[in-house]
Amino acid sequence: MFLLINKPSGPTSHDIISQLRKITGQKRIGHAGTLDPFAEGLLICALGRESTKQLGNFLKLDKTYLATLKLGATSDTYDRTGNIIFSPPCQGGVRPAKGGRGYRRFTKKIISSTLQKFLGMQLQTPPIFSAKKISGQTAYKLARQGKTVTLKPNQVTIYDIRLKKLEIQNSKLEIEVRCSSGTYIRSLAHDLGQALGCGAYLEELKRLAIGPFSLAEAVSLDQLNMDNWQQFLQPLKPSLPAKTRVLVFGTFDCLHSGHLNFLRQAKKLGDELHVVIARDKNVKNIKQALPTNHELRRLQAVRETNLPTTAMLGQLDFDHRFRVLGKIRPDIIALGYDQKLAVDTLEAKIKHYHLATKIVRLKAYHPEIYKSSLLNKTRPLAKSPIV
């Protein structure tokens, strides 16, 4: 059996377990994912031998967080508990303007555009002040001893990231993030600060959900006592059915109804839709002309449809364009009715990665109207990238 606990800021996750042992009288209690002491939110706790055996399944579930970032400063721990180094020119929500002359105030548009670059699969380096092990030693202990710590980046996925609030005067922003297991929100905060050019660290963190389990269902320790705790037990089932992953490739230039129909058809084939956007360089090499819209604009347009689980730019090296198969490991690859993709090469790569992926051709949608070769004749001049 399990308890969904609303952890407050202050105690460690282990402290919560210790308090639960006193309340319940149970000795074997564990949790499904540590929250830092300053963080708050959902902590799934398992009671008893059989339940604690299932915790590994919870650890694999996606997480959703609400994070508050402080701009204009960095921290060696990537959060408010570390040594803070301020960057005075960036206070008040400004950053150096292009060319180094004057300063440019942040706007929701600038920040939202920067956030979009963090969507999808990526390599993320954990904070050196973390529980990662290096030759059997904990990274944060080595860092506190003043030793050089080098951690290998991990592959993580940001499924969704949104700006919830921007406080210009306080140099703060609030974001909501849905990510894969193993993602460090502290690292995300630090990396976002670097991308914005002003530095940032994580000031507050609240875990809103673990997979389908929500903070709204959780109880605080104050609500529990020796007489009532059993009323809050839940027979959770962490072993969720495997999700069917669908992968599509495309240019998606000047997004139109034909593209939307293609994406909707692909989405119906499974539970997750992953979209790979062709790079400008590769489109030019194949079609002898650049797309009308820059690759970042095309990427943003696809994401704004809210159809894909992830949307990402493809490999710059055309010969490596199918490496994404090894990362996503799709169950289905959906192709347009007349999409010209190197199917022979694709099938060879599917075998190379030991996959059982099916290739499916989707139905045409008014090809007399929404065919790229026809639309190219009426398209406007190429637009500049998003800034």
Task: Render the burial of 179-201: b for 16+ CB within 10 Å, e for the rest.
Answer: bbbebbbbbbbbbbbeebebbbb
**Structural contact between residues 203 and 86, judged by C-beta atoms closer than 8 angstroms:** no
Q: What is the DSSP letter of 229?
A: G
Q: Other CB atoms closer than 10 Å to residue 230's CB: what's the count?
A: 12
Q: Is 210 helix (H, G, I), strand (E, B) or coil?
A: strand
In this prediction, residue 383 carries a pLDDT of 46
- β-bridge mates for residue 79, sequence order: 202
Measured distance CA(338)–CA(334) in Å, rounded: 12
In this prediction, residue 143 carries a pLDDT of 62
Give me 23's structure tokens. 């309340």
Measured distance CA(336)–CA(258) in Å, rounded: 10
What is the number of alpha carbons within 13 Å of residue 64 lying toward its C-beta? 12
**Structural contact between residues 212 and 198, judged by C-beta atoms closer than 8 angstroms:** no
What residue ranges in 129-266 does DSSP mark as E strands?
133-134, 137-138, 154-167, 172-179, 200-210, 213-214, 245-250
Quickly list DSSP for 91-103.
TTTEEEPGGGSSE
Q: Is the entire prediction scored with pTM above 0.85?
A: no
What is the number of alpha carbons within 13 Å of residue 224 lying toward its C-beta? 22
Phi, psi of 274 (to 5 degrees): -115, 125
Quickly list DSSP for 66-84.
EEEEEESEEETTSBTTS-E
Q: Other CB atoms closer than 10 Å to residue 384's CB: what's the count?
A: 9
Please choose, from the candidates 82, 38, 83, 78, the residue with its C-alpha nearest in 3D space to the C-alpha of residue 204.
38
In this prediction, residue 156 carries a pLDDT of 85
Indicate which residues carry an active-site annotation. Answer: 36
Phi, psi of 289 (to 5 degrees): -160, 145
- β-bridge mates for residue 277, sequence order: 250, 313
**Structural contact between residues 43 and 19, judged by C-beta atoms closer than 8 angstroms:** no
**Structural contact between residues 337 and 250, judged by C-beta atoms closer than 8 angstroms:** no
**Mutual orientation of helices 108-116 and 295-303 as an angle, nearest 10°?**
90
Domains of the chain: 2-61+211-232 (3.30.2350.10), 63-210 (3.30.2350.10), 245-378 (3.40.50.620)
Sign of CA dihedral 168, 93, 122, 67: negative
**Structural contact between residues 298 and 305, judged by C-beta atoms closer than 8 angstroms:** no
Q: Other CB atoms closer than 10 Å to residue 366's CB: what's the count?
A: 10
**Structural contact between residues 115 and 191, judged by C-beta atoms closer than 8 angstroms:** no
CB-based burial of residue 334 (10 Å sphere; 0-12 exposed, 13-18 middle, 19+ buried)? buried
In this prediction, residue 139 carries a pLDDT of 64
pLDDT in tens, the chain (387 residues): 899 999 999 999 999 999 999 999 999 998 988 898 999 999 999 998 888 888 888 888 889 999 999 998 999 889 998 889 887 555 445 555 454 444 456 788 889 888 888 877 788 888 876 666 666 666 666 667 666 666 788 888 888 888 999 998 888 999 999 888 889 999 999 999 999 988 999 999 999 999 888 999 999 999 999 999 999 998 876 545 568 899 999 999 999 999 999 999 999 999 999 999 999 999 998 888 999 999 999 999 999 999 999 999 988 887 778 888 887 889 999 998 878 777 778 888 888 888 889 888 888 888 766 665 545 554 444 444 443
Task: Tell me which H or E stretch contains 273.
Answer: strand 272-277
